[in-house]
Copies of this chain bind each other. A is one copy, B any other.
Amino acid sequence: MIAKEMVSYVKNGSAIRAMFEDGKKMAAEVGAENVYDFSLGNPNVAAPKEVKEAVMEILNEEDPVMVHGYMSNSGYEDVRGVIAAHLNKLHQTSFTENNIIMTVGAAGGLNVVLKTILEDGDEVLTFAPYFVEYRSYVSNYRGKLIEVSPNTVDFQPNLTEFAEKITAKTKAVIVNNPNNPTGVVYSEETIKKMAEIMEAKQKEFGTEIYLISDEPYRELAYDGVEVPYLTKYYDNTIVGYSYSKSLSLPGERIGYLVIPNEMKDFEEFVGAANVANRILGFVNAPSLMQRVVAKCVDAQVDVPFYDRNRKMLYEGLTNLGFECVKPEGAFYLFMKSPVADEKEFCAAAKKQHILLVPGSSFACAGYVRIAYCVAPETIQNSMAGFAKLAEEYGVK
């Protein structure tokens, strides 16, 4: 008697649960240390010490009625001010507290934005490969997710197809930078071209097309690569941020939206986003954690840990002859499957107790995602298994 839409979700969910159960069974049989689980994008590095210090300080010094209380649906004004100032320092922007809405993580923030803008049948474009939940977020508000096919040369967005797929019904474009699942960072050149195309299409159709930048991995960028700040390139941009990875607080559900003054009908947009935050049942981002992140704007998790894992994994796999997209950000490596049907390869990997996610889960068949937010030993010890796979599939 539940909603039909939800029945299909439950069925798909069972497949994932089956995979998870398989993994547990495997761990019970061969020992957890002999299972190389690269399937989850779950930070394995502890929150920096500043987080605990901030909690203690707040609880010892601030008024509990305020700390745990309701505030404006946008969040505490002082917290939003601190975040705006921090962004200005980093990106030479000029945000104030009025440009920030605190949200229940980036997932909450994206839902708030989509509720704010979407009407039935509106189209939202995104670039494959992409985080699979975007499809559900868009469908929550009766929008239609339109995929732009992957550019398997360098995994920068396929801008030719992008331009072709924008129509009068296109309401928004979602980008995820650094990217899950590829680990690629969309370059400034890409962003500039994308902005040009969107400007031209807005004029052509007389519409507003929103650029939604989902940035939970912003701070996880390596080798000094620059992650462009999109509000600087395109007026109708919304940035969705989360502290899940930068402070290793994924369970706390704390993030924010940036809505720049340049946004068309800025006041109305912000007003509507606040209403959406409330009526979707978020009400406001968790209050104590709002105050914590404001005290931790300069703190960060152990990024070098992820970087060492990245190098070890990339070198290990390329030495074995696998074709890998070189990751510049996030904690994922995207590897070409040595057979067209990457699910077959995932099944073979499982026999080596290596758990991978097929690229088709991200609308990019023929590849697999390897999450390297794991213990370094997991990477080291998995190499024997990968070597067997390399041999089995004759990759060298």
Q: A115 and B3: CB pair below 8 A?
A: yes
B-side contacts of A208, CB under 8 Å = 1
Q: Interface readout for A298-326 with B: 1 if CB under 8 Å, 0 if not? A: 00000000000000000000000000000
A7-B272, A10-B268, A68-B249 known, 18 other contacts, Cβ within 8 Å: A1-B117, A1-B208, A10-B272, A13-B271, A13-B274, A43-B69, A46-B63, A47-B64, A52-B59, A69-B248, A69-B251, A70-B250, A104-B283, A108-B281, A136-B279, A251-B284, A252-B286, A253-B286
For chain A, what secondary structure do more than half of its interface residues adopt (helix, strand, loop), or is it mixed? helix
In the complex, which residues 235-261 of chain A have their Cβ closer than 8 Å to any Cβ of chain B? 248-254
Q: B282 and A251: CB pair below 8 A?
A: no
Q: Which 10 A-B pairs have the closest CB atoms?
A: A251-B287, A111-B281, A136-B279, A1-B208, A107-B281, A6-B272, A108-B281, A10-B271, A9-B275, A286-B286
In the bound assembly, the distance between CA atoms of A107 and B1 in angstroms comes to 22
Name the distance in Å between A75's Cβ and chain B's nearest Cβ: 10
Q: B68 and A252: CB pair below 8 A?
A: yes
In the bound assembly, the distance between CA atoms of A282 and B272 in angstroms comes to 19
B-side contacts of A3, CB under 8 Å = 115-119, 141, 272
Q: B108 and A207: CB pair below 8 A?
A: no
Q: A105 and B268: CB pair below 8 A?
A: no
Partner of A65 from the list B46, B104, B117, B284 (CB cut-off 8 Å) is B46
In the bound assembly, the distance between CA atoms of A180 and B141 in angstroms comes to 29
Number of this chain's copies in the complex: 2
Partner of A116 from the list B2, B67, B136 (CB cut-off 8 Å) is B2
Name the distance in Å between A284's Cβ and chain B's nearest Cβ: 6
B-side contacts of A254, CB under 8 Å = 286
Q: B280 and A280: CB pair below 8 A?
A: yes
B-side contacts of A64, CB under 8 Å = 46-47, 51-52, 248
Chain B, Cβ-Cβ closest to A3: B119
Q: B253 and A2: CB pair below 8 A?
A: no
Size of chain A's interface in residues, with CB distance under 8 A?
78
Partner of A56 from the list B43, B59, B116 (CB cut-off 8 Å) is B59
Q: B56 and A68: CB pair below 8 A?
A: no
B-side contacts of A286, CB under 8 Å = 251-254, 286, 289
In the bound assembly, the distance between CA atoms of A286 and B250 in angstroms comes to 9
> Does A233 count as interface, using CB distance less than 8 angstroms?
no
12 residue pairs A–B, Cβ–Cβ below 8 Å: A1-B207, A6-B276, A45-B65, A46-B65, A68-B249, A107-B281, A251-B284, A251-B288, A253-B253, A253-B285, A254-B286, A286-B286
> Does A44 count as interface, using CB distance less than 8 angstroms?
yes
B-side contacts of A71, CB under 8 Å = 251
Q: A251 and B111: CB pair below 8 A?
A: no
Q: B55 and A55: CB pair below 8 A?
A: yes
> Does A24 count as interface, using CB distance less than 8 angstroms?
no
In the bound assembly, the distance between CA atoms of A283 and B55 in angstroms comes to 23
In the bound assembly, the distance between CA atoms of A262 and B44 in angstroms comes to 39
B-side contacts of A104, CB under 8 Å = 104, 253, 281-283
Q: A281 and B59: CB pair below 8 A?
A: no
Name the distance in Å between A321's Cβ and chain B's nearest Cβ: 34
> Does A269 count as interface, using CB distance less than 8 angstroms?
yes
Q: Interface readout for A1-21 with B: 1 if CB under 8 Å, 0 if not? A: 111111101100110000000
In the bound assembly, the distance between CA atoms of A105 and B280 in angstroms comes to 11
In the bound assembly, the distance between CA atoms of A166 and B272 in angstroms comes to 33
Q: A248 and B65: CB pair below 8 A?
A: yes
Chain B, Cβ-Cβ closest to A109: B281
Q: Interface readout for A52-85 with B: 1 if CB under 8 Å, 0 if not? A: 1001100100011101111100000000000000
Name the distance in Å between A334's Cβ and chain B's nearest Cβ: 22
Name the distance in Å between A235's Cβ and chain B's nearest Cβ: 12
